[in-house]
Structures are given as structure tokens and as C-alpha cells.
Structure 1
Amino acid sequence: MFLGTYEPRLDDKGRLILPAKFREPMAGGIVITRGQDRCLYAYPRVEFERILARMQDASTTSKRNRDYMRVFLSGASDEIPDKQGRVTITSNLRNYAGLSRELAVIGAGTKVEIWDLASWNAYLDENEQAFADISEEVLPGL
């Protein structure tokens, strides 16, 4: 399970050093792809394979399904972290998410989200009140 927020930097070669807590589950491979809200999703390879299997069960006669799978899979990058826990984020994914050197890497349960730090902070500012307002709807009785 991935939890927490970390603020690493991209190096000059477009590499991210994974937070130490995230390295072991991603040691066998990581798949980075486009996410919603202009962030990137990073999955351990095993989790990505589970998602891919579910996608293959989806009807390809549905244009919406085909469109989603194309966008999700066409930007995917398969990486193996090096000994320092670094993975390369491809230029097309860096451009998609508008990544600068300053990042926010957040644990989101079964995946990790990679955000430009300024975009993440703006997202939090915009959604903080909604977070409070919908808590009862999302998690009744909490």
C-alpha cells in the first residue's frame, strides 16, 4: 500500500528517485502512464498487469473503452528502478503532466501519483473544502 506525500526532484536526465518506502514494491518493475488531472500514475508491474487483464475483458466494441485504453496505454513506460531507486520519466509523460524539477509524489493506495509540485499544491487548495464537504458521502460514519 502506498501512502504519504514526498517532494523529490527530477534530475537533468528526467529521472526520479523513488521514495524509500515505495522502492521495495516497485523493485520488480514499474509502469508509469497518464493519469487523470494531469498527473502521472505509477504502478508496480504486478498491479499494472492486473489492470491490463481487466482492460482486456472490457468490450472493444465500445468507442469509450477503446479511447480510454488508447490514451492510458499509449503513454505507458515500463521501467526497472536502478540500484539508487531511480526511474526515468519519458519526455512525453513529463510534458503531459507539466513536470518541472520540483515534484510531489503521493501514495494513492495501489498506485503512486506523480505531480508537478506547484500543480499539486494548487489542486489541494482548490479541493480542500470539497474534501471536507463530501467526507460523509464518501465514507459514511467516519
Structure 2
Amino acid sequence: MLLGTYAPKLDEKGRIILPAKFRDELGDGVVLTRGQERCIYVFSNEGFAAQHDKIREAPLTSRAARDFLRLFLSGASSEVPDKQHRITIPPMLRDYAQLDRDLTVIGAGNRAEIWSTEAWNEYYAAQEEAFSNTEEEVIPGLF
């Protein structure tokens, strides 16, 4: 399970070093793709295959499912970390997530997410109060 918040830097070649705590799960290879809220989702190869299998179960007749699948898969890129545990973020995904040098990488359970630090801070500030006020009805059985 991927957990925590990290602050790697994007180098001039568009690479980041995977957080050490993520390397066991992501060290053999990752799939990067567009995430929601303009972040980048980072899945293990197995995690991406499982996610794809779930998406494929949606009916082909559903326009929303087709749209989601197209955007999700057309932005996907398979990457293998180098010996320094760096992965390259393709330019198209860097543009999509508006990444600059300062990044925030979070563990989100079955995936990691790469955010521009500015976008993450804005998202966090906007969501923190709602998180604090979450009631049982939102996630039944949570508390």
C-alpha cells in the first residue's frame, strides 16, 4: 500500500526519484497516466492492469465510460526506473499536470499521485475542512 507525502524535485530531463518507501511496490516498473484534478496517477504494472480490467467492465454503450477510458489510456505511459530509481514523466503528462520543479507525491493506497506542489497545496486547503467534517454517511462504517 502506498502511503505518505513526499517532495521530490523534477530534474531538467523530466525525471523524478521515486520515494524510497514506494520502491518495493513500484521498482519493477510503473504506468503513469492522467489523474483526476490534474495530477498524474502512478500505478504498478499489476495495479494498472487491475484498474484497466475494472474499467473494461463498463458497458461499451456508456458514453461516459468510453470518454473516461479514452482519456485514461491515451495518456498512459509505461516507465521503468533507472538504477538511481528515477522515472521520466513524459512531456504530455508534465503539461497536463502543469508540473514545474517543485512536486508533491502522495501515496493514495493502490497508486501514487504526482502533483505540482502549488496545485497540491491549493487542493489540500480546499478539501481539509470537508475532510474534518466527514460524517459516517459519506463512507459507511468508517467510524
Aligned-residue identity in percent: 49
- Root mean square deviation of aligned Cα: 1.3
Gapped regions of structure 2 (runs ≥ 5): none
Shift of 1:135: 4.5
Distance in 2 of aligned mates of 1:85 and 1:29: 10
Task: For residue 50 of structure 2, give the secondary structure of its aligned residue in structure 1.
Answer: helix
How far apart, CA to CA, are the structure 1 residues paired with 2:13 and 2:61?
Answer: 40
Quote the offset at 1:138 in angstroms. Answer: 2.6
Letter of the 1:138 partner, please give it: I
Paired amino acid for 1:18: L
Partner of residue 64, structure 1: 64
What TM-score comes out, normalization by structure 1 length? 0.95
Could you tell me how far apart the structure 2 residues matched to 1:90 and 1:66 are?
24
Q: For 2:87, what is the secondary structure of its paired residue? A: strand
* Structure 2 equivalent of residue 138 of structure 1: 139
Aligned match of 2:125 = 125
**Equivalent residue pairs, number:** 142
- 1:16 aligned partner: 16
Q: Name the CA distance, whole Å, in 1 between partners of 2:11 and 2:4.
A: 22
Structure 2 equivalent of residue 75 of structure 1: 75
Per-residue deviation at 1:141? 5.8
- Give SS of 1:121's match: helix
Q: Structure 2-normalised TM-score?
A: 0.94
Distance in 1 (CA, whole Å) between partners of 2:6 and 2:134 is 25
| Structure 1, gaps ≥5 residues long | none
